[in-house]
Amino acid sequence: MKTKSLKERVLNPAKLAPHTVSILGDSYQVARLSAAKVNAVNGDLQGKKDPDELAKTTTQFILDSIIDEDGVSLSKSIALEEFHQVYDHCSIQEAYTKIMQVNFGNVEGIEEAKKD
Q: pLDDT tens, 19-36?
A: 999 999 999 999 999 999
Per-residue confidence band for 16, with pLDDT thresholds at 50, 70 and 90: confident
Could you tell me the pLDDT band of residue 108, with boundaries at 50, 70 and 90?
low
Q: Which of 1-10, 56-65, 102-111 has the highest mean pLDDT?
A: 56-65
DSSP 37-83: HHHHHHHHHTT---HHHHHHHHHHHHHHHEE-TTS-BGGGT--HHHH
* For range 37-46, the mean pLDDT: 90
Rounded to two decimals, the pTM is: 0.81
List the domains of the chain with CATH numbers.
Answer: 6-102 (3.30.2220)
